[in-house]
Amino acid sequence: MKEYQVIFTEEATAGLSEIMDFIEQRNPENAKQFIARLAETFEKTLSMFPNGINAKKIGTRTMRKFSWKGYSAYYDVNEAEKLWIFYIFSVIPNKRKIS
């Protein structure tokens, strides 16, 4: 089984930072650990199963969405075995959303 290289865009990294800031307000001891686990889960899962989720049109892009523990990553896969994560945000109401 081939493994895809997972690349977090600046916006995805900013999303992780926003999530960490939010968690730090409520649970500062676990914020960094949770973000590391969140990023690792996205990276490991998507590197092995990049096409396991149906693609759909979001704005001007065709992307896929993978969710874990209330957080979603929107991403795209190219033929060069690279996977680009464009957005990461909370799916909990009143949190950051993409348009």
Would you state the pLDDT for residue 91?
Answer: 64
76 domain residue, yes or no: yes
pTM of the model: 0.82
Q: Print the domain residue range for 9.
A: 5-90
Q: Pick the residue with more confidence: 81 or 36? A: 36
26 domain residue, yes or no: yes
Number of domains in the chain: 1
Given a cut of 80, whether residue 66 has pLDDT beyond it is yes
16 domain residue, yes or no: yes
Would you state the pLDDT for residue 1?
Answer: 66
CATH number at residue 47: 3.30.2310.20
97 domain residue, yes or no: no
11 domain residue, yes or no: yes
Would you state the pLDDT for residue 92?
Answer: 62
DSSP code string of the chain: ---PEEEE-HHHHHHHHHHHHHHHHH-TTTHHHHHHHHHHHHHHHHHH-TTSS--EEETTEEEEEEEETTEEEEEEEETTTEEEEEEEEE-STTS----
99 domain residue, yes or no: no
70 domain residue, yes or no: yes
Q: What is the pLDDT of residues 11-26, one digit of tens each?
A: 999 999 999 999 999 9
Would you state the pLDDT for residue 99?
Answer: 38
